[in-house]
């Protein structure tokens, strides 16, 4: 119990928690130049670069990307897998750590859940536009009776993917919104500005904190966490099936599902750290997202990083042990081919750089943790690049080998979605409570109940 004292720093009370968290939203003057600058730059990408790319893409067709035959899955699928992986940390933090009763999650889960939702939005754009004409693709993506009397092919992993990702998005959204309802009520009651009061009253839906409501609410919240846990594992497993079920060399590996899931968590925690570190500094949330949180997230990053690195080694082993000529050739292509720099950079980013986190000193050094997270984020992108286009460039038939060279529009869409993500995250930080207020109060109560005697007249012996 003693170690938990560092979960909330400073002399906090219920009211001060409201102030620390709520005022980021209610006192709009707190959003100064750093917010405006970042938001401004992000909006250029979100509102200008991304729509322009999409417009050009729809007008011209997906030939504007570097995709070719045999590399049908270039940047769009690399970015899709990258984004969806980033989203997974949100669900892991909010659901799995809730089930494991890891109370330290309380101050980062809301933030991470928001990240999940925006990351899945970014991810969703890619396969949708990769179809070229999304409105035409509807009939083979969604099972609805259409005039052509054809249906989607349910035996295809790509169909499973459609169901997995759309379920994941819906359930994450529901989970996130349910978590927000009591906090909206707090903001509604705390707001002095009339407009803000109305704006928060509507999503609060009349929440009044009745114990009967809390009772059902907690049941539902816990079961949703229980549902999200197998869901998040299934989503990235199914994403890995997109590859592992095929016979493309480098893809047809049984280690893919666990290694993809670990990679997703790895990338996700890196992104949480990447964003939470500046936000906690800018908005005075250092008492709530403490060094202890950063230390633990760094540890999870290190652990999942090791699993991922094990996956890389296993791929190499498989390349040799399978005895398949194409598999061996593919590994050599990764080691020495024209994109060898990407492979070795990947090994550096995901295999070597995170090892510094073994040192407790490094885990508690903000610039180091932030830099490692940045390197890991790049590394995880490279991982998908190494797996997807690099495996497709060389195949069973040497005559159809072809280089993949990304174009300007590949990059503009990629940076466009990064801009969109930051754009949404910054709007979220400004208009919604980025830390779950009621869970922090609950945590404060649980941590403080035994050591902060506030009133002596009460003998609540039977309550516990």
Partner 1 sequence: MSHAPIAPKIYGMVAEFETPDQLVHAASRAKEFGYTSIDGHSPFPIHGMSEATGFKCNLVPWIFLVGGILGGLTGIALESYVSILDLPLEIGGKPLFSLPSFFPIMYECTILFSALAGAIGMMALNGFPRPYHPIFDCPGFERASQDRFFLAIEADDPLYSEIETRRFLAGLEPINISVVEEEE
Residues touching partner 1, count (CB under 8 A): 71
User: Residue 10: which of 361, 276, 285 has the closest Cα?
Assistant: 285
Q: Does 88 bind partner 1 (CB under 8 A)?
A: no
Binding to partner 1 (CB under 8 A): which residues in 232-261?
Answer: 234, 238, 241
Only segment of 125-133, 370-378, 423-431, 454-462 that touches partner 1 (CB under 8 A): 454-462
Q: Does 209 bind partner 1 (CB under 8 A)?
A: yes
Q: Does 95 bind partner 1 (CB under 8 A)?
A: no
By CB under 8 A, name the one of 2, 33, 69, 205 that touches partner 1: 205
And the tokens for 20? 């620390």
The angle formed by the CA atoms of residues 266, 299 and 77, to the nearest 5 degrees, is 5
Q: What minimum distance in Å lies between the beta carbon of 167 and partner 1?
A: 4
Spatial separation of the C-alpha atoms in residues 371 and 365, rounded to whole Å: 10
Please say which residue, 214 or 310, places its beta carbon nearer to partner 1.
Answer: 214
Residue 278: which H helix or E strand, with range? helix 256-282
And the tokens for 121? 């939005």
- Give phi and psi for 308, each to the nearest 5: -65, -40
Q: Does 101 bind partner 1 (CB under 8 A)?
A: no
Q: What minimum distance in Å lies between the beta carbon of 4 and partner 1?
A: 17
And the tokens for 304? 């999942």
Spatial separation of the C-alpha atoms in residues 313 and 298, rounded to whole Å: 22
Spatial separation of the C-alpha atoms in residues 81 and 79, rounded to whole Å: 5
Only segment of 62-70, 158-166, 385-393, 426-434 that touches partner 1 (CB under 8 A): 158-166
* Burial class of residue 134, CB neighbours in 10 A (0-12, 13-18, 19+): middle
Q: Does 186 bind partner 1 (CB under 8 A)?
A: yes
Only segment of 178-186, 318-326, 336-344, 408-416 that touches partner 1 (CB under 8 A): 178-186
By CB under 8 A, name the one of 217, 251, 309, 318 that touches partner 1: 217
Q: Does 56 bind partner 1 (CB under 8 A)?
A: no
CA atoms within 13 A on the CB side of 209: 8
Q: What minimum distance in Å lies between the beta carbon of 205 and partner 1?
A: 4
Pattern 111-150, partner 1, x by CB under 8 A = --------------------------------x-----xx
Only segment of 128-136, 227-235, 389-397, 410-418 that touches partner 1 (CB under 8 A): 227-235
And the tokens for 191? 């707001």
Spatial separation of the C-alpha atoms in residues 441 and 458, rounded to whole Å: 20
Spatial separation of the C-alpha atoms in residues 123 and 225, rounded to whole Å: 22
Q: Does 10 bind partner 1 (CB under 8 A)?
A: no
Q: Does 24 bind partner 1 (CB under 8 A)?
A: no
């Amino acid at each position: 119990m003693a170690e938990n004292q560092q979960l909330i720093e400073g002399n906090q009370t219920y009211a001060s928690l409201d102030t620390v968290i709520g005022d980021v939203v209610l006192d709009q003057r707190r959003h100064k130049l750093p917010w405006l600058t970042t938001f401004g730059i992000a909006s250029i990408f979100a509102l200008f670069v991304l729509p322009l790319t999409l417009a050009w893409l729809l007008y011209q067709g997906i030939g504007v990307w570097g995709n070719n035959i045999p590399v049908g899955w270039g940047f769009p699928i690399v970015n899709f897998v990258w984004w969806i992986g980033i989203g997974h940390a949100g669900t892991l933090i909010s659901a799995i750590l809730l089930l494991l009763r890891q109370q330290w999650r309380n101050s980062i889960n809301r933030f991470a859940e928001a990240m999940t939702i925006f990351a899945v939005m970014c991810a969703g754009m890619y396969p949708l536009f990769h179809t070229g004409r999304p409105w035409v693709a509807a009939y083979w993506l969604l099972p609805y009776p259409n005039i052509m009397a054809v249906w989607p092919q349910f035996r295809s992993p790509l169909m499973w993917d459609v169901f997995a990702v759309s379920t994941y998005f819906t359930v994450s959204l529901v989970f996130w919104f349910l978590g927000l309802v009591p906090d909206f009520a707090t903001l509604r009651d705390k707001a002095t500005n009339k407009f803000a009061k109305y704006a928060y009253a509507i999503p609060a839906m009349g929440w009044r904190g009745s114990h009967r409501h809390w009772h059902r609410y907690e049941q539902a919240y816990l079961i949703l966490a229980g549902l999200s846990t197998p869901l998040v594992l299934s989503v990235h497993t199914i994403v890995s099936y997109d590859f592992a079920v095929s016979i493309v060399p480098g893809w047809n590996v049984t280690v893919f599902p666990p290694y993809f899931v670990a990679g997703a968590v790895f990338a996700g925690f890196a992104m949480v750290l990447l964003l939470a570190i500046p936000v906690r500094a800018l908005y005075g949330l250092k008492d709530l997202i403490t060094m202890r949180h950063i230390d633990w997230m760094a540890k999870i990053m290190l652990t999942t990083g090791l699993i991922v690195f094990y996956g890389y080694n296993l791929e190499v082993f498989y390349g040799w042990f399978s005895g398949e000529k194409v598999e061996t050739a593919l590994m050599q292509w990764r080691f020495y081919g024209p994109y060898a720099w990407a492979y070795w950079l990947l090994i550096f980013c995901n295999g070597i750089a995170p090892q510094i986190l073994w040192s407790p000193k490094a885990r508690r050094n903000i610039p180091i943790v932030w830099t490692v997270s940045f390197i890991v984020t790049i590394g995880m992108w490279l991982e998908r690049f190494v797996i997807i286009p690099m495996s497709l460039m060389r195949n069973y038939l040497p005559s159809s080998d072809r280089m993949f060279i990304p174009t300007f529009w590949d990059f503009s869409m990629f940076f466009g979605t990064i801009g969109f993500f930051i754009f949404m995250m910054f709007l979220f930080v400004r208009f919604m409570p980025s830390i779950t207020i009621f869970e922090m109060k609950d945590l404060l109560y649980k941590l403080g109940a035994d050591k902060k005697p506030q009133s002596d007249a009460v003998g609540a012996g039977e309550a516990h």
